[in-house]
Amino acid sequence: MSSEPKKVRMAIAARLRMARESAGLSQGQASKLMEMHRPTVSEIAAGRRRLAADELARFADTYGVSAAWLIGEHDADADDVSDRIKLAARQLSSLKDEDLDKLMRLLQSMRGANR
């Protein structure tokens, strides 16, 4: 097997894992939502199994990201930024109010330091 297809599968696997975790789902929960066998989801997420086009669409829909983002077809364009913001927002939505306030103060201080 050529190393290039394996690199592509591993990159997709990493994005799938990030998107699933950002969606707050376990592999078991994701497999139920997508009506797929858990071992199938696990093998795809580990980069050991090829991803069919219909499966890619189901992953993207379930995780709330674009299929293009999952397969790495972006050039730091607005869609990529939008997807990254959505993923970050999901993570932020699970924070306690006081932790979110601390994070906002940290972000403001970082912006001030960069000026």
pLDDT tens per residue across span 34-69: 999 999 999 999 999 989 999 999 999 999 888 988
Residue 92 has pLDDT above 60, yes or no: yes
Per-domain boundaries in the chain: 3-113
CATH 1.10.260.40 fits 3-113, yes or no: yes
- Helix, strand, coil fractions of the chain, as percent rounded to 5: 75, 0, 25
Q: What is the pLDDT of residue 1?
A: 47
